[in-house]
């Protein structure tokens, strides 16, 4: 899933992949989860804070289309006590109790390794061990962050650029957005 920020009816709707820090901070900004649209709903008055949060975690604001790639992660081990295993702002695997197993996050392609849940009923965990996986739809801008760059330098992460053909709906949306911008510029010019 790509990060999307849409303004409508005095509200801001955000769709993005799960990240525990984003969820916590979205609530602090007055965001409410809407299960029907699978998006966070915010007041228009906090849009700048929401954009900053998206930029900080995902590397994009979601207002405009952006290029993506895949990250190939090799021999990774991670642990989450009563939470998901997250890497580079993405949920890799998530358990919801000791016996739930570890479910893969959105856009994660599992190649090999161990993913599991465990612990006690009250103190469960998610574990990923010696795992190789692909993180798909990763914003190219996010690859410039220090954590990704360090992993690349250390040799356990690599960028796989994927050529994606844009859908008709994406092209139509871009045309509509550009027409709207053009109309605003023409109004501004006429008011000079």
pLDDT of residue 162 exceeding 70, the answer is no
3-class SS at 88?
coil
d(CA 98, CA 117): 5
Q: How many CB atoms lie within 10 A of CB 130?
A: 11
Burial of 62 (0-12, 13-18, 19+ CB in 10 A): buried
Q: What tokens appear for 90 in the block?
A: 């993405």
**Domain boundary assignment for the chain:** 4-66, 68-161
Q: Are 69 and 140 in contact (CB under 8 A)?
A: yes
* pLDDT, tens only, 25-71: 999 999 999 999 999 999 999 999 999 999 999 999 999 989 899 99
Q: Point out the least confidently predicted range of 9-18, 32-41, 158-167, 182-191.
A: 158-167
Strand pairing category for 108-119 and 103-104: unpaired
């Amino acid at each position: 899933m790509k990060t999307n920020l849409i303004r409508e009816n005095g509200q801001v709707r955000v769709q993005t992949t799960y990240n525990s820090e984003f969820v916590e901070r979205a609530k602090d900004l007055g965001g409410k989860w809407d299960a029907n649209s699978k998006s966070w709903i915010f007041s228009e008055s906090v849009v700048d804070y929401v954009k900053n949060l998206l930029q900080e975690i995902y590397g994009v604001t979601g207002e405009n289309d952006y290029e993506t790639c895949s990250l190939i992660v090799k021999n990774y081990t991670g642990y989450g006590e009563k939470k998901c295993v997250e890497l580079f702002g993405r949920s890799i695997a998530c358990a919801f109790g000791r016996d739930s197993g570890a479910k893969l996050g959105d856009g994660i392609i599992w190649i090999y390794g161990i993913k599991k849940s465990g612990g006690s009923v009250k103190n469960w965990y998610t574990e990923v061990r010696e795992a190789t996986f692909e993180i798909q739809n990763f914003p190219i801008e996010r690859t410039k962050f220090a954590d990704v760059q360090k992993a690349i330098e250390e040799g356990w992460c690599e960028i796989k650029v994927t050529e994606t053909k844009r859908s008709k709906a994406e092209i139509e949306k871009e045309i509509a957005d550009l027409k709207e911008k053009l109309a605003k510029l023409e109004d501004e010019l006429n008011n000079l």
